Amino acid sequence: MSTSAAATTHDRLHRLADAARVAGIDAVLVAPGPDLAYLVGHSVPSHERLTLLAVPAAEPGDAVMVLPALERGGWEGSTAEIAGIRFVTWLDGEDPYAALLGELGGAEPGTAAVDDHLPFLHAFRLQASRPALRLQPAGELIAELRMRKEPFEIDELASVGAAIDRVHRRIGEWLRAGRTENEVAADIAAALVEEGHRTADFVIVASGPNGASPHHEASDRVILAGDPVVVDIGGPNPAGYNSDSTRTYLVAGGEPDPELARVHELVRTAQRAAVDAVRPGATAESIDRAAREVIERAGYGEYFITRTGHGIGLEVHEHPYIVAGNTRPLEPGMAFSIEPGVYLPGRFGVRIEDIVVVGDNGAKLMNTSPTELVVV
Ligand code: ZN
Ligand code: ZN
Ligand code: ZN
């Protein structure tokens, strides 16, 4: 924890409060999870005991953390403490909702924006404690801040991107005919940590027909010679920023599906078209369109069954979503995946995924491992 982390917290609380005032909100209630981690550099699991950061729109310097007394020790020396956030603890048997409302000020009804990650149980009890309090979702307010990455966040995404690229470049150590998807996935998970991830958050090894299901993870299926294998892997680095990269490999020997090379090249072309379409001012949906058009023109449109991408940062999936209907213009600093795919039921799937950051003149790639069909 450093004074520069505290300065980041101070700046983010002030920007959140500014946005809240513009929206006519009196206080923002931030729950444990990625939003709390974003604002104060640390979070804890959410459970039945109320933990909440309340940020008054009028004076973010008066932000207060309400938490169970037994958890106070975990925040000793934290950025939140250094940044001057007050801690108000409550004991089992006391009413934390009354304590929170007391901190929000008097009996005046007002409007509070509630973090998307607050369990309904807590929102419900808070509302019951003060029926006149108007609650509304805070998700967009906080997403607006998190969407545009600061330079140090882009550095984190680049370094965790390089870490996942090193894992992909080592794929030949583990992926071969005769092994099960689970065996390969276990080795990849270990390599994620070896190469600098805090944990392996997800390891998809989808061989042969399993590749046609975008959410298949790994199974006891034995990988065969000639199988295409979708490998989609990622996790957080020690600072909490996530990687997410997919390559589709071909296992040597055997008779690959006669359509594989053509479909793989098609997905690669679509992926590059979407990357090339990234620039400030282009809409999120236009990036989806750029990839989809390539696949539709080749007659595979009905097999591209997902959106083109998702924002990434402290969460693997966050705003902005690269999907039809999202007319939001891209801005420098936005970070997201570009991951078109073609999924042929009962046969195989192909997906290629890179993380990009919007730069002043176009996409900056956070992943650089080869996108050609690599034979292992
Ligand atoms: Zn201040
Ligand atoms: Zn992925
Ligand atoms: Zn992804």
CA of 22 to the centre of ligand 3 (A): 33
CATH code, domain with 59:
3.40.350.10
In a shared domain, residues 76 and 206: no
Last residue of a domain, one of 103, 124, 146: 146
Query: Which ligand is closest to the CA of 355, given by its number?
Result: 3
Q: Tokens 């609380």 belong to which residue?
A: 13
In a shared domain, residues 164 and 287: yes
Given a contact cutoff of 8 angstroms between Cβ atoms, the answer to whether 115 and 141 are in contact is no
Query: Which ligand is closest to the CA of 60, given by its number?
Result: 1
In a shared domain, residues 109 and 245: no
Give this prediction's pTM: 0.94
Query: Which ligand is closest to the CA of 85, given by its number?
Result: 1
In a shared domain, residues 231 and 299: yes
Last residue of a domain, one of 106, 131, 146: 146
Structure tokens at 278: 């990234």
CATH code, domain with 321:
3.90.230.10
N residues, the chain: 376
In a shared domain, residues 93 and 156: no
In a shared domain, residues 227 and 341: yes
In a shared domain, residues 155 and 272: yes
State the greatest distance between any 2 C-alpha atoms of the chain, in Å, as a whole number. 74
pLDDT at 337: 98
In a shared domain, residues 164 and 123: no
Nearest to 281 by CA among 327, 329, 328: 329
Query: Which ligand is closest to the CA of 232, given by its number?
Result: 2
In a shared domain, residues 128 and 231: no
pLDDT at 1: 47
CA of 46 to the centre of ligand 3 (A): 25
In a shared domain, residues 226 and 365: yes
In a shared domain, residues 52 and 65: yes
Rounded to whole angstroms, the Cα distance separating 139 from 33 reads 12
Rounded to whole angstroms, the Cα distance separating 63 from 332 reads 29
Nearest to 49 by CA among 35, 31, 23: 31
**In the chain, which stretches have pLDDT less than 70?**
1-3, 106-107
Query: Which ligand is closest to the CA of 215, given by its number?
Result: 2
Which residues are bridge partners to 98 per DSSP? none
pLDDT at 107: 59
Nearest to 224 by CA among 211, 208, 246: 208
CA of 355 to the centre of ligand 3 (A): 8
CA of 13 to the centre of ligand 1 (A): 8
What is the arrangement of strands in the sheet containing 111-114, beginning at the earlier edge strand?
Answer: 86-90, 64-68, 52-56, 27-30, 111-114, 134-137
Residues lining ion ligand 2 (Cβ < 5 A) are: 232, 244, 246, 353
Query: Which ligand is closest to the CA of 214, given by its number?
Result: 2
Rounded to whole angstroms, the Cα distance separating 243 from 162 reads 9
SS3 338: strand
Query: Which ligand is closest to the CA of 322, given by its number?
Result: 3
Q: Which domain holds residue 137?
A: 3-146
Q: Where are the alpha helices (DSSP H) in 130-259?
A: 139-147, 151-169, 181-194
Domain count, the chain: 2
Nearest to 62 by CA among 118, 102, 34, 119: 102
Last residue of a domain, one of 146, 181, 210: 146
In a shared domain, residues 304 and 155: yes
Strands 245-250 and 335-338: unpaired
pLDDT at 106: 61
CA of 328 to the centre of ligand 2 (A): 22
